[in-house]
Structure 1
Amino acid sequence: MPTQTENLNVLAFDHMPSPDEVKARVPLTERAAAAVVAGRKAVMDILDRKDPRVFVVVGPCSIHDPVAGLDYARRLKALADEVSDVLLLVMRVYFEKPRTSTGWKGYINDPFMDDSFRIDVGMERARKFLLDVCELGLPTATEALDPIAPQYYGDLIAWTAIGARTSESQTHREMASGLSTPVGFKNATDGDLEVAINAIISAGSPHSFLGINSQGQSAVTRTRGNRYGHVVLRGGGGRPNYDTVSVSLAEQALAKAKLAKNIVVDCSHANSWKKPEYQPLVMKDVMHQIREGNQSIVGLMIESNIEAGNQPIPADLSQLKYGCSVTDACVDWATTEDMIRKSAAVLRDVLPKRERRA
């Protein structure tokens, strides 16, 4: 036998059900499909300036408890209906967490939160959770981190984010070019906007790359390009970038690249110095910009949960506080309602003046 030269650091290859197998266990329903299609169309119409509303991606930093997550979704659906004339609310449903070094990688990777990494279980449960949210008639948003994962649940997503750590990744740009949703690219963690702009250009072009098909087989994936890429300002490099000067500079950079001036502002992360109590101040400032005539800001992101703050993952999971984040700290539900309602009130008489296209 020849000397072994591959898989030297691989312990095992555990079986993973194919996307078709998981979808057969958790099939798409007509009601859920209608919510997905309606959500995507609404976001696309906002980006195309056919709809003057602003979309708001709001929800937990990450999903770890599907019971509390669905509780949050029901509350958000009621609020979404209340402000639907002004704001399009899309629930933030994040299952994968990028890590600078180590830490819990999210519900798909470790659904039991015990380092057992039952990805097969996590993927099916994640799909079931998305289905339940869509069944409520609420569109969902997520971050695409693993390039294979969208094959398992992409049919239930209305808006996708590419994070600050992955906007520069060729793999994620290629993946975004084939996604069925609008895609927001965040600026880099150091605040660099050019990374996101280059990502939009790249994802808007056709690509061919190695992936898997719905049967789980290796395949050459060929895409047509995604024309609904846009930038997400999340701050970075020790400063926020939601202010009027930063937004104006982003508009100029997009115009120079001959891209649509579509900007989403992330109220969290570096824009709030990772302090959730500052998120309402960021949103208030952005609403003021729109009220004063800004035409480029089309959306916002908020990290929100039932309870404020965050918590470490205890050894005894029964000690977890209900509805409280185990990753980034969030604003609580009462604050979320107040932020959304006040923003809707500020914009209600302004929207008729926003730029529209036939």
Structure 2
Amino acid sequence: MQYLTDNTRISGLMEVSPPNEVISEMPISPGASELVFKSRKEISDILHGNDDRLVVVVGPCSIHDPKSAFEYAKRLKNLETKFCDQLKIVMRVYFEKPRTTVGWKGLINDPNLDDSFDVNLGLRKARKVLLDINNLGLPAGTEFLDMITPQYIADLISWGAIGARTTESQIHRELASGLSCPVGFKNSTNGSIQVAIDAIGSASNSHIFLSITKEGKSAIFNSSGNEDCHVILRGGSDTNYEASFVDSTSKELDKAKKASTVMIDMSHGNSKKQFKRQLIVNKDISDQISSGEDRIFGVMIESHLEEGNQKIGPLDQIKYGQSVTDACVGWKDTEIMLNQLSTAIETRRKKLNKSA
């Protein structure tokens, strides 16, 4: 007797459009390709100490509504123009959400917010959002959760992140080794920074791994390694944005022969999951920078048009411009925080120029 041993817990299956089909419907524009190329180089230069600006990855916890995302992008573009000499602003454009247990997994997985899971639509919506934002002249950053979706959107990404739940994952380290953009690894949810440093070491080397081609076929990829990887301090059971953690992390990175600069996530563990505390963290980081600290090369801020968050529901029944995942600071606070960071960079420049 032949027993059924395969796909015994799969209740449905639907083919997804291959990457080249989605990309051909919405090809990258010449202007967007130039922006992505130059932004990656600028972020790399800041990471390695060749540009004294601060990278600021700022935006909604997750994108659930393309319309409000585009309005946010237009407002942020104005600030990007205003602060371009001090800050390299990258919009946070997250489409996939890792869940501790269950919950809405993001625009790609469920673009209609109704458990219909129209992934083919989600991939197209995500690419359209990114294309629109890049065409505004604003670079985009995102978190990569799997080995497949990058083939649909990675050409439009200037900076990428590997989250706290996946930093230890071998396949995510392999993925980062082959991504064309700088990539940040967050410290683990329990606060371990060493796992992020180990991840950088792994991702800087070449790897052989499985993924899919633009045609949607399984293939063996050989990466060359990514020297533009870095640590993101996001807190754990306690905070780790303070000067002592910046110093100890930088020293450990130096021992590992990696760029001794760090990015600080103002939300998550560092805000103790209280979104308004991002302003306190921002003030502390600004004070560190103003005092001459040059090992903080970047920050992350969770921000939206409206502060706070709300339960997920149909788009026509939820508040416009407010997060449906983690709570975010509102637009007024965002302006205050970016102005504070810009002033800190100017203060540091004057201080370092005097000492020179």
TM-score range, shorter chain: over 0.9
> How far did 1:347 drift?
1.9
Question: What CA distance in whole angstroms lies between the structure 1 residues aligned with 2:349 and 2:11?
Answer: 57
Q: How many Å apart are 1:353 and its aligned residue? A: 5.8
CA distance in 1, matches of 2:346, 2:304: 25
How far, CA to CA, are the matches of 1:207 and 1:353 in structure 2? 43
Q: 1:312 to 1:204 in 2, by over 3 A?
A: same
For residues 295-351 of structure 1, give each alpha carbon's deviation from its aligned partner in whole angstroms, at most 9, with x where no partner exists: 21100000000000000013x441110000000000000110011012212221423
Give the CA RMSD over aligned residues. 1.2
Which residue pairs with 1:287 in the alignment? 286
Distance 1:260 1:350 in 2: 20
Consecutive unaligned residues in structure 2, runs of 5 or more: none
Secondary structure at the aligned position of 1:146 is classed as coil
Given candidates 299, 302, 325, the residue that maps to 1:327 is 325
Report the Cα offset of residue 185 of structure 1: 0.3
Residue 117 (structure 1) aligns with: 117
- Report matched runs for 1:88-103 at 5 Å: 88-103=88-103
SS in 2 for 1:348: helix
Q: Secondary structure at the match of 1:78?
A: helix
Give the structure 1 partner of residue 214 of structure 2.
214
Quote the Cα distance in structure 2 between the aligned partners of 1:168 and 1:353.
Answer: 39
Report SS of the residue matched to 1:350.
Answer: helix
Aligned letter for 2:252?
A
> Which amino acid is 2:179 matched to?
L
- Return the TM-score normalized by structure 2: 0.97
Candidates 340, 343, 354, aligned match of 2:341: 343
Structure 2 CA distance for partners of 1:352 and 1:228, relative to 1, 3 Å: farther
State the partner residue of 2:86. 86
Q: Which shows bigger deviation, 98-107 or 285-294?
A: 285-294
Tell me the alpha carbon deviations over residues 154-205 of structure 1, each in whole angstroms, 9 at most, x when there is no partner. Answer: 0000000100000000010000000000000000000001110000000000
Mapped partners of 1:186, 1:153: distance in 2 = 21
Q: Could you tell me whether the CA contact under 8 Å between 1:123 and 1:152 is conserved in 2? A: yes
Letter in 1 for 2:295: S
Partners of 1:251 and 1:34 lie apart in 2 by 32
Deviation (angstroms), 1:284: 1.2
Q: How does 1:113-262 map to 2 (within 5 A)?
A: 113-236=113-236, 238-262=237-261
Structure 1 spans left out of the alignment, 5+ residues: none
Identical positions, percent: 50
What CA distance in whole angstroms lies between the structure 2 residues aligned with 1:331 and 1:317? 21
The answer on whether the counterparts of 1:52 and 1:352 sit within 8 Å (CA) in structure 2 is no
One-letter amino acid of the structure 2 residue matched with residue 269 of structure 1: H
SS of the residue 1:219 aligns to: strand
- Give the whole-Å Cα distance in 2 for the aligned partners of 1:352 and 1:4: 72
CA pair 303-354 structure 1, distance change in 2 beyond 3 A: farther
Deviation at 1:2, TM superposition (A): 2.9
Shift of 1:294: 1.4
Amino acid across the alignment from 1:340: L
1:256-315, CA deviations, whole angstroms, 9 ceiling, x for partnerless residues?
Answer: 21211020000000001011111011011111111212121100000000000000013x
Deviating beyond 4 angstroms after TM superposition, the runs of 4 or more aligned structure 1 residues are 352-355
1:71 corresponds to? 71
Contact map agreement 2:286 2:340 (CA 8 A) in 1: no
Q: Is the 8 A contact 1:110 1:122 kept in 2?
A: yes
Q: What is the identity, as a one-letter code, of the residue corresponding to 1:61?
A: C
**Residue type of the partner of 2:324?**
V
Alignment correspondent of 2:105: 105
The amino acid that maps onto 2:311 is P
Alpha-carbon shift at residue 105 of structure 1 (Å):
0.2
Q: Structure 2: how far apart are the matches of 1:342 and 1:248?
A: 22
Shift of 1:354: 5.8
Partner of 2:277: 278
Quick one: structure 1 residues 160 and 354, their matched pair in 2 at CA, closer, same or farther if it must change by over 3 Å?
Answer: farther
Deviation at 1:12, TM superposition (A): 2.6
Partner SS for 1:209:
strand
Aligned AA (1:225): G
SS, match of residue 99 in structure 1: coil
Residue identity in the other structure for 1:49: G
1:265 paired residue number:
264
In structure 1, what is the Cα distance between the partners aligned to 2:109 and 2:123? Answer: 8
Q: How many residue pairs get matched?
A: 353
User: How many angstroms apart in 2 are the aligned matches of 1:353 and 1:44?
Assistant: 24
TM-score between the two structures when normalised by the length of structure 1: 0.96
Equivalent positions of 1:7-86 (< 5 A) are 7-86=7-86
